[in-house]
Amino acid sequence: MGRWEPDARGRLQQAALELYSERGFEPTTVAQIAERAGLTERTFFRYFADKREVLFAGAGELQELLVSTLAESRGSGSPLAAVGEALEEAAGSMEQRRVYSRQRQAVIAANVELRERELIKLASLASALAATLRDRGVKEPEATLAAEAGVAVFRVAFDTWTSGPDQPDLAELIRESFVALRAVTAS
Amino acid sequence: MGRWEPDARGRLQQAALELYSERGFEPTTVAQIAERAGLTERTFFRYFADKREVLFAGAGELQELLVSTLAESRGSGSPLAAVGEALEEAAGSMEQRRVYSRQRQAVIAANVELRERELIKLASLASALAATLRDRGVKEPEATLAAEAGVAVFRVAFDTWTSGPDQPDLAELIRESFVALRAVTAS
């Protein structure tokens, strides 16, 4: 008890996702997740507030990464281009998690409460990106519109990316989704 | 009991909004809302599932109006232009509810649960608009991107519209917000 466990966090995430996929999110307990990971419940709660947050810890990390990339971006392009560059850079670091992400999306799609939580996390991401753009001197409503449009582009690309194993890289899908957005808004 | 009450629904909505504004959403009870409206709890539950839904009944009506307008639209413009026309048309019918809408936004802004419910309703609206565009032959990802961009434009315009009494008409704000979106995505 209390000793350091190598990659306890990752093991708990993997165990949770396996159990949610096999049995469903609702009936799975923290005790079962800890047991599958070979860890204790106490260790679980050192990393996650509850069994739902296991699925959304990555969303918080993604938000931090995107905000810091956007804040440090030195591009002279439009606000939306800056958001696009941050998204593409984050996509690179997500590429190795495609199988995990696909399983996670299937679990979320099967549960109303999780779908709602995902929406709230994406709205939080858009708000954070808009705030970062304002810090860079972008005015409203441009900051909010660029952030919302960027998150919409990301969602479309992410849904395609997790829809099957034969899809292009996420960064490539984000570029394609931006092209589609420009076509939709151009006329 | 059980007899027809003139505009019971509207009176309950008004009473609920007054009480939420005066005392907060959380402590207000259905019994208090019914009493303020001069109606019974039984009548309340004939119109609304719970005290939260009083605030969101209008969101369902807005979605129905937008979907039917978009479905019947005969415009030959882009998918986003069609969404924009539907939003402008709906804005006309919302204009007389500006004071109500402003009070409602203040109540929602003060409560996390209500803010989350609002996000979920807007996501539902975007999904419904995307489905309507697909029915009109618009492909993906264009349908989803046009719907999401349209809802982002609407949110920005709606937030400005409800921010104070001296703002332009909602339809005018929607047009301005579309111009800002085009500027953001153009470069």
**What is the full DSSP assignment across B72-140?**
H----S-HHHHHHHHHHHHHHHHGGGHHHHHHHHHHHHT-HHHHHHHHHHHHHHHHHHHHHHHHTTPPT
Chain B residues near residue A145 by CB distance under 8 angstroms? 152-153, 156, 177, 180-181, 184
In this structure, the answer to whether residues B43 and B62 fall within a common structural domain is no
> Contact B187/A78, CB-based, under 8 Å?
yes
Q: Which of B142, B148, B156 sits opposite A141 (nearest CB)?
A: B156
* pLDDT category of residue A164 using cuts at 50, 70 and 90: confident
Residue A102 lies in a domain: yes
% of chain A beyond a pLDDT of 70: 96
Contact B67, B128 (CB under 8 A): yes
- For residues A88 and A39, membership in a common domain is answered with no
What count of residues does chain A have? 187
Handedness of CA A64, A67, A68, A70 (dihedral sign): positive
Same domain, B19 and B60: no
Per-residue confidence (pLDDT) for residue A1, from 0 to 100: 47
B3: region left, alpha or beta (phi > 0 left; psi from -120 to 50 alpha): beta
Q: In the predicted model, is pLDDT for residue A87 greater than 50?
A: yes
Same domain flag for B67 and B135: yes
Confidence of residue A124 (pLDDT cuts 50, 70, 90): very high
For residue A117, give the chain B residue with the closest CA: B116
* Distance in angstroms (rounded) separating the CA atoms of residues B149 and B182: 10
- Provide the mean pLDDT of chain A: 92
Q: Within this chain, do residues B108 and B40 fall inside the same structural domain, yes or no?
A: no
User: How near does any CA of chain B get to the CA of A133, in Å?
Assistant: 12
Q: What is the pLDDT of residue B3?
A: 61
Average pLDDT rounded to a whole number, residues A31-37: 97
Instruction: Give yes or no for residue A85 having a pLDDT over 90.
Output: yes
**Rounded to whole angstroms, how far apart are CA atoms A70 and A13?**
28
Task: Give yes or no for residue A130 having a pLDDT over 60.
Answer: yes
Contact B181 A145 (CB under 8 A): yes
User: Do A121 and A155 fall within a single domain?
Assistant: yes
- Flag if A149 and B79 touch (Cβ within 8 Å): no
* Rounded Cα–Cα distance for residues A118 and A155 (Å): 11
Considering the domain boundaries, does residue A107 fall inside one?
yes
Examine residue B138 and state whether it is found in any structural domain, yes or no.
yes
A162 plus A108 within the same structural domain? yes
CB A156 within 8 A of CB B126: no
Q: Looking at the domain assignment, is residue A109 inside a domain?
A: yes
Given this model, what pLDDT does residue B125 score? 95
Positive or negative: CA dihedral B104, B108, B110, B113: positive
Q: Measured between CB atoms, does A182 come within 8 Å of chain B? A: yes
Rama region for A138: left / alpha / beta (φ>0; ψ in -120 to 50; rest): beta
Spans of chain B below 70 pLDDT: 1-4, 75-76, 187
The residues, ordered by sequence, that sit 6+ positions from B111 with a Cβ below 8 Å of its Cβ are B24, B25, B26
* Cβ neighbours of A56 (radius 10 Å): 19
Work out how many CB contacts closer than 8 A connect A with B: 92
B133 and B42 together in one domain: no
Provide the CATH number for the domain around residue A96.
1.10.357.10
- The count of structural domains within chain B is 2
Which stretches does DSSP call E strand in A80-182?
none
Q: Are residues B145 and B81 in the same domain?
A: yes
Assess if residue B105 is contained within a domain.
yes
pLDDT (0 to 100) of residue A2: 52
- Structural domain span for residue A69: 53-186
A120·B116 Cβ contact <8 A: yes
- Tell me what the mean pLDDT of segment A38-42 comes to: 95
User: In three state form, how does the secondary structure of A143-170 look?
Assistant: HHHHHHHHHHHHHHHHHHHCCCCCCCCH
Percent of chain A with pLDDT over 90: 79
The reply to whether A89 falls in a domain is yes
